[in-house]
Structure 1
């Protein structure tokens, strides 16, 4: 995705970076629009309560400057301080990190969106910072912006509800020249392309969002108040905070225990989540699954020294079956099962069971 810039050209065109393309889920023929929307909107979101581990890649020509690393750490903490149920942990081993951060200069700044990072194999980065994060307010905003992508945010200016009418040829000329030197295809993908209404939540555009691009004067025809440009959004906006708290509310209470052969009805709406603890009475292989005409992402965590670590998971979205997990659980250990609903696409309600 294009990012908030750390540099500005002499004519006022910011330096942006391009977003890696997303992989849309393959849905079965005849899937209802409501089901499709729920899957596409929810697909990037993490199961709430996930601990996201991040590491810094030691790459040739990419100095791991302490001031840059500290700015990224502060950005993670700033998102956490909004009051969300996700956790962030820095690790040093590449194999333990879902989020792998490159600081190679000159390669732009970008991040994959939400759970898309799980499809990027090590040692490839899932996030890159191609300019200084400390020299200007724009650089500081870049760190917040990229982490926002990892949380599941898209770009605000591509919101289909924004009502932006571009002077398209001027946009192509501006982005085709220095400092970006983008092709028309890259400019369309990152600037002019509208996201599908299935890819966004809500119906309002937030030009103050840290996920918005700054734009110089002359590129936007309408809304008229933005003909003079969009200023640099340099902090997490109030609307950003509202949405991220809605996606990842703080988890306070200990979840109820799920007992073997106990079926639990899940009264969830799209995007909501159910959480359960599992305390095995004996060491053996257990199965866990959802039931009903529904689309779920289901993740099992093991409590290791007070931290929930990913154990196994499944995503049944876009299929006409239900998710199943099979795992060997050990007596005396503690597990947490989390199930996030995309949609109910048939009659009845969804249920969950362990056996």
Structure 2
């Protein structure tokens, strides 16, 4: 039994020969789907000047969305097992997986690429041609053990909903004592180049490219790591269950209490809202008919961060603010041209919840 048959081979166009997707196309698909796939995270103020921030870029689907899933091939018995396990994610994330026999679909599953299982990550599926697979299961058969179905299907659908490999989590830095030369030698037997190994195992996502938790060796998104490939005594077994952190993290990304995108009217009464779930981001949309200076504010007891996106492009961040409003509230003053704009509101502390109001008015 080889490890290539037993680990997820993520959808990596550069290393697989599939057509490459540009970073710009990937980011555009993500922000067209969900405004808060770009989130501002305050880093605190330097000795002098304005507070600094990091930009988190994610590939989450719109909260509450129904994702259509279609099998491109495969035998009915295997398809039925994959579908049943995939639905387990609906109890964790505020999403619906609707399996369809024909027509358009966001997630398309194949079994044709033998020996490899992989998936696109979240909204990257939208950049794949409509006739091509976005997910592959290369070794599932009617005789495959249930625990193996659970392990691989839970893992690949984790990718499909926006999760990355846990060992590439920025917080994994220094957590796994890899014996790199042994790892290179081991995977060379599976026809992986050193670049493949670097890209799939050792290369971490940057701090500003993904929302993440502390490193979780029990995550369903973690590879098995044999002791023989590490320095000292360190190993990770085959994770087949969702970890407590997996569940908490994905419930934050897809909260059931979120109202979705709320329309704001310029100059209207303020809108009351609540960040009911730790890590929740609320999104608002408003249209500007005539150019002018506009004031966007939050008010209330919560320490909020406000981000302005647009015009006409949810992926364009125009401005953000943390504490320029009343107390711990945010305030943005900006001359806006005609077009569509979005505001996103989050609590400064990812662990906190609280109420607030938000409003937009024209200056003067």
User: Which residue of 44, 56, 68 maps to 1:53?
Assistant: 68
Closer, same or farther in 2 for the Cα pair 1:170/1:245, shift >3 Å? Answer: same
CA contact (8 A) 1:39 1:295 kept: no
Partner of 1:115: 123
**Residue 250 of structure 2 corresponds to residue 244 of structure 1:** yes
**Residue 196 of structure 2 corresponds to residue 186 of structure 1:** yes
**Residue 307 of structure 2 corresponds to residue 294 of structure 1:** yes
1:311-350 alignment to 2 at 5 Å?
Answer: 315-317=314-316
In structure 2, distance between residues paired with 1:66 and 1:190 = 31
The structural deviation recorded for 1:258 is 6.2
Q: How many residues align?
A: 288
Whose relative contact order is higher, 1 or 2, with alpha carbons under 8 Å and at least 6 apart? Answer: 1
Closer, same or farther in 2 for the Cα pair 1:297/1:130, shift >3 Å? Answer: farther
How far does the alpha carbon of each residue in 1:240-290 deviate from its partner, in whole angstroms, 9 at most, with x for none?
0000111111148799776798576687988602479xxxxxxxxx96899
Q: Secondary structure at the match of 1:38?
A: strand
Partner of 2:153: 143
**Which stretches in structure 1 are left out of the alignment for 5+ residues?**
1-7, 59-63, 277-285, 299-312, 327-337
Partner of 1:102: 110
How far does the alpha carbon of each residue in 1:24-71 deviate from its partner, in whole angstroms, 9 at most, with x for none?
4579xxxx985874342xx3122211111111114xxxxx21221112
Closer, same or farther in 2 for the Cα pair 1:194/1:39, shift >3 Å? Answer: closer
Closer, same or farther in 2 for the Cα pair 1:254/1:201, shift >3 Å? Answer: closer
Closer, same or farther in 2 for the Cα pair 1:217/1:288, shift >3 Å? Answer: farther
**Residue 97 of structure 2 corresponds to residue 88 of structure 1:** yes
CA contact (8 A) 1:107 1:130 kept: yes
In structure 2, distance between residues paired with 1:33 and 1:260 = 26
CA contact (8 A) 1:294 1:350 kept: no
How far does the alpha carbon of each residue in 1:280-322 deviate from its partner, in whole angstroms, 9 at most, with x for none?
xxxxxx9689996835599xxxxxxxxxxxxxx9532356789
**Residue 176 of structure 2 corresponds to residue 168 of structure 1:** no
Closer, same or farther in 2 for the Cα pair 1:20/1:254, shift >3 Å? Answer: closer
CA contact (8 A) 1:315 1:323 kept: no
In structure 1, distance between residues paired with 2:211 and 2:222 = 15
**Which stretches in structure 2 are left out of the alignment for 5+ residues?**
13-20, 29-39, 43-51, 297-305, 320-335, 349-356
Partner of 2:354: none
CA contact (8 A) 1:132 1:139 kept: yes
Closer, same or farther in 2 for the Cα pair 1:325/1:142, shift >3 Å? Answer: farther
Partner of 2:31: none
Q: Secondary structure at the match of 2:208?
A: helix
How far does the alpha carbon of each residue in 1:97-144 deviate from its partner, in whole angstroms, 9 at most, with x for none?
111111214161111111111122211211111111661323331111
Closer, same or farther in 2 for the Cα pair 1:319/1:342, shift >3 Å? Answer: farther
In structure 1, distance between residues paired with 2:78 and 2:358 = 46
Partner of 1:20: 11
Q: Secondary structure at the match of 2:70?
A: strand
CA contact (8 A) 2:310 2:340 kept: no
